Amino acid sequence: MLRRSVRHHATFQRGTISCQKCLTPIQVFKVHMIASEFSVLCMKCYYRGLFQKHYLKIEILPERRKKPRD
């Protein structure tokens, strides 16, 4: 049986959680390094809330472009 070479596209994860005060979405990068409870500063209202990791909405996106655009 022949195996086809399958090119795997690189992906990265981004977590999104909403601010408890103004409901603005806050993006969190490096999701795998976050503790079970963490605090994040909202850039709109400057409220620092305490969040739990299982409330994150995780998005899997394609890897960012590394080559400069012409």
Which pLDDT tens digits describe the chain residue by residue (70 residues)? Answer: 556 655 666 777 889 999 999 999 999 988 888 899 999 999 999 999 899 998 899 888 777 666 766 6
Residue 50: what pLDDT? 92
Residue 45: what pLDDT? 95
Compute φ and ψ for 53, nearest 5 degrees.
-65, -30
Residue 1: what pLDDT? 54
Residue 60: what pLDDT? 83
CA gap 65, 32 in Å, rounded? 21
